[in-house]
Amino acid sequence: MTIAIVGGGIAGLCFALNLHRRGIECRVFERVALVKELGVGITLLPHAMREFKALGIDAELEAQGIENLESCFYNRFGQLIYKEPRGRYAGYELPEVGIHRGRLHLTLYNAAVARLGADRIILDHRCTGVTQDADGVDVHFETANGARTMRADAVIACDGVNSAIRKQLYPQDEVAFAGINTWRGVTRHKPILTGRSYIRVGSIHTGKMVIYPIVHDVDGQGNQLINWMAEIQGDNLIKNDWNEAGKIEDFYHIYKDWTFDWLDVAAMIRNSEMVLEYPMVDKDPLDQWTFGRITLAGDAAHPMYPRGSNGSAQGAIDARTLADCLAKESSVPEALKAYEAARLGPTSKVVLTNRSNPPDFINIKVEELVGDKPFDDLDRYITQAELQKMSDDYKKIAGFALPTPG
């Protein structure tokens, strides 16, 4: 059995490493000609780290990132709403880690090259479509040297939110934009709060920031590399272009007065080393991923809002589940159907929850109850126990809740 994996991102490389562990031959086809350390920050929750531990790279990832101690929620006036311990500090076996996305990707890529062989990770191959018959699938590519077709027993589309294979299966497929734009950056800054705090400030209705560290002592002077993301929702917003660099003037006015005793948000934005802009988009859940010997995985299957730090975890779980199904089932189409049956429902719930009740719904709810103003006594509006339940409910849907005692 030979599996063609279209897309060498997080899901595709995780899948390749899982197949290799099970003795199943595969090749990864990636559209870029050179893999570089790109992007900004990403948070690896304990259920993501569980998948990376099974692949033997968890210690390497933890050493490259920062283990989170706590998650903190503030209103846009800098007042603490709620906080909770995270990862090992909350009782999980594995940590929650903030890391540069490019470092995560390169770690997976280097592991795949070392274990599978460089000839199995094929760059400069942009998939243009697939055709299949009863015995296999032909995958069509464009390369720098022209068109090329490869044959495989199955094709797994791990080619992201703009998947060419998903578009072939669903020609009317489009991203869903609900008027939320985001800007991301990284800033060298002294440690904020504990130096291992994941922070959400404000709400998407009046301006929200997500802030967390991803590199310790980045300059030898004790400063960290701080990842931040600004988000705002508006009825008349034009969708950001993820191919363009971001402009501070497009969003700075929202945060220019955010100066707290624990952080000058405006200065952090001004001092950013770069600014990238993205629209916050996802796609409506599908009823079917698998068509014969072709199936979808990762963001090609279930692109979701980047809320709750759950996209990479769900892609990694897809990879392990699909590899298990291929190892157990005698028929490739039956294996792909078994994978779909296991993963389509749970990921659809996460996609829809990230739209309506993500972790930062805590901030939105408090803003609705209190009004867009500082509070004197938050317990008059909502208790800490109620806020904790909101947080715990998301963990259950996302698949990383701790077992209930008893």
Sketch the domain layout of the chain as residue ranges: 2-39+102-175+284-356
Which secondary-structure segment (H or E) carries 226?
Answer: strand 224-233
CA dist 354 → 83, 278, 360 (Å)? 20, 17, 9
SS3 for 125?
A: coil
pLDDT, averaged across the chain: 95
Nearest Cα to Cα of residue 5 among 29, 35, 33: 29
Nearest Cα to Cα of residue 304 among 293, 295, 313: 313
**Torsion angles phi and psi, residue 17, rounded to 5:** -65, -35
| Predicted structure pTM score | 0.94
Whole-angstrom distance, CA of residue 294 vs CA of residue 288:
11
Whole-angstrom distance, CA of residue 102 vs CA of residue 276:
15
Q: What is the pLDDT of residue 405?
A: 59
Give the pLDDT confidence of 367-386 residue by residue, as tens digits: 999 999 999 999 999 999 99
Taking residue 65's Cβ as centre, other Cβ atoms within 10 Å add up to 24
Whole-angstrom distance, CA of residue 141 vs CA of residue 89:
47
Instruction: At 85, list the tokens.
Output: 């311990």
Taking residue 373's Cβ as centre, other Cβ atoms within 10 Å add up to 9
Which residues in the chain land under pLDDT 50?
none
Sign of CA dihedral 238, 240, 241, 247: positive
The CA-CA-CA angle for residues 239, 245, 250, to 5°, reads: 60
Query: In the CATH scheme, what is the code of domain 2-39+102-175+284-356?
Result: 3.50.50.60
